Amino acid sequence: MKRSPKEQEESARQITRRGLIVGGAMGVTAAVLGGRMHYLQVDRASDFRLLAEDNRISDRLIPPARGLIFDRSGVLLAGNEQNYRITMVRENAGDVDEVLDRLRQLVRLDVSRLSRVRDEIMSSPSFVPVTIADRLSWEELASVAVNAPALPGVTPDFGLSRVYPLGPDFAHVVGYVRDVPETYLERTGDTDPVLRIPDFQVGLLNIEEGLEPALRGRAGIRRVEVNAAGRIMRELNRVEPAKGADLQLTIDAGLQNYTEARLAGESAGAVILDCQSGEILALASAPTFDPNIFVRPLSSSTYGALLNDPYRPLANKATQGLYPPGSTYKMVVALAALEGGHIDTEETVHCGGYTELGNRRFHCWRRGGHGRLALLDAIAQSCDVFFYELAQRVGIEAISAMARRLGCGVAHELPLSAVAAGLAPTMDWKRANRGEDWLVGDTLNASIGQGYVLTSPLQLAVMTSRIASGREISPSIVKSVDGVDQVNAEPPALDIPPDFLDAVRTGMYRVSNTNRGTAYGSRVVEASYAIAGKTGTSQVRNITAAERAAGVTSNEDLPWERRDHALFVGFAPYDAPRYACSVVVEHGGGGAAVAAPIARDLLLRAQAGEVPPLELYPEGQRRRVQEMHDNMTLMPIHRPLPDGGGSSQA
């Protein structure tokens, strides 16, 4: 039917209106899209360009080789060895359990270790390699490589791993490295990105920990192209890592080995110093442990055995152990008394076996007393009553002040773990820490190195070196860093009159070289090797009046943990002091019987530079000494030859 002109006009108006609506909507849409494109391509162009670049380029850290550690003669104490290992990438492995089962047929894989590895594989990103086993032999690595088609996702790899060639001898000096603990970053505040590299290890004890920043080195950077999933496509460039600094210690490896061997079977600490420079030549703690076991995953049973051993092998007794110094402290009292003018070398004091203070008796170790003694013989015979008398004249403040001047009650600065400060007590200290006033009886106890006084073997060695040299010796253990000598200024002279030091040194000489000296049984027959020293025995239990009346129970009849500590300090040679030594044997009994023979051997070994010749010992002791040396485990020390080629054996 033909439409009328009016109907055609109405239809045209409707079409025009619809067209305008549709066109307007399309215009709005085009405007929105245009604005969005402008925002993305112009306003946010730089942001998205950076984001795209980050997706395309990734910087990966390359771990540096750890610095080496040597003894004073160039003997390697801590090194890096080639470590053959195998890794797995989960996305390439397919059935992880099946591949691990096949792998177990080729290499030894501990079941508990395998369980931890599987958990790590499943929790890591699928493209990240996870270490399955390390420290493989070349034969095991080759076996894995040959069977590669049957081991999808498994890759033979190699890297560097820390190794301690002399093992237990240096555990308490060098320490060890271990995987970065979860609490390490928070505890140290260390923000080095290299710490986040999988399997990266840091020093966790002694030199390895104390000089971690120098030993660690600086990470390299490997710039790679990765796809959107983070998978590496190709390497673009790299900056090689900077190796950590090499360290040379003051320790003598041969002397350290002899010291550890001589302490075998005891719970003990010993320190040997060069008493002219303060260099630590040996620092031993027994029993010890093999630091190599900490570099690898450590079983709970192995760690538990170390932790629960009553002899505490993990503790560094030489620097951390604190003990009442016993009679080795009497030199401190003697010097304080001489300097204060409270006595001279001629005045005598009578010892009847005890001193009465109020209603209490303070006994001498010799039940019947020593009779009348002057200062030098009181040191030689270790008369307690003599020093009770001096202590009452001098007072605790002057005694403790002298102790600190001689290096006791002071935390010496060394890059070792937890160097203890010890305690040279004062009246204010007791009020602040015990809430009590100081008593005269406290002073008498302190005068014989008991009561509140606490020292470490390191502090006793420093004290002895200062008395021997007359200088303010400070201990040091690092000789050079990357070949640069760590030069120490010449120690200043002690502000103690030389005559007083000479008097105390003479008393110490009599300890070891006169027939009434407490260490006469540990004398040296060759005058040029003569030792001056002081014995000490410190109680760890109270002796009741009833026990004293009936007879004090001997150490041999007591449980080990209730026996006295045995101590000895000494220097040699007497005429020209070069070496100072301290020995503390926990619950060893008497210092004269146990600690003095050990210290004599250590000082003779230091002077002779080898196992001490039998001719230096009294004739009646030579057979026993020979048998002892025959039974000691002494490691051969390979020293670099002067021309740098090969090595010699000491």
User: In whole angstroms, what is the distance from residue 405 CA to residue 588 CA?
Assistant: 29
In whole angstroms, give the CA distance from residue 243 to residue 238: 15
Which amino acid type is present at position 599? A
* Active-site annotation holder among 327, 382, 476, 538: 327
Which 3 state secondary structure label does DSSP give 57?
strand
3-state secondary structure labels for all residues of 547-593: HHHHCCCCHHHCCHHHCCEEEEEEEECCCCCCEEEEEEECCCCCHHH
Cβ 288 vs Cβ 239: under 8 Å? no
CA separation for the pair 347, 504 (Å, rounded): 15
Is 327 a residue of the active site? yes
Spatial distance between the Cα atoms of 517 and 377, rounded to a whole number of angstroms = 8
Under 8 Å between Cβ of 65 and 244: yes
Mode of pairing for the β-strands spanning 57-62 and 201-203: unpaired
Residue linked to tokens 């002779």? 608
244 in Cβ contact with 200 (< 8 Å): no
Q: Which amino acid is at 622?
A: R
- DSSP category for residue 204: -
d(CA 586, CA 602): 18
Torsion, Cα of 503, 507, 512, 516 (10° steps): 150
Rounded to an integer, what distance in angstroms lies between the CA atom of residue 277 and that of residue 526?
25
Q: How many Å apart are CA 448 and CA 247, to the nearest integer?
A: 41
Neighbouring residues of 311: CB distance < 8 A, sequence distance ≥ 6: 267, 286, 287, 586
For residue 376, the 8-state DSSP code is: H
Beta carbons of 83 and 158 less than 8 angstroms apart: yes
Rounded to 5 degrees, what angle do the CA atoms 83, 85, 87 make? 145
Active site residues: 327
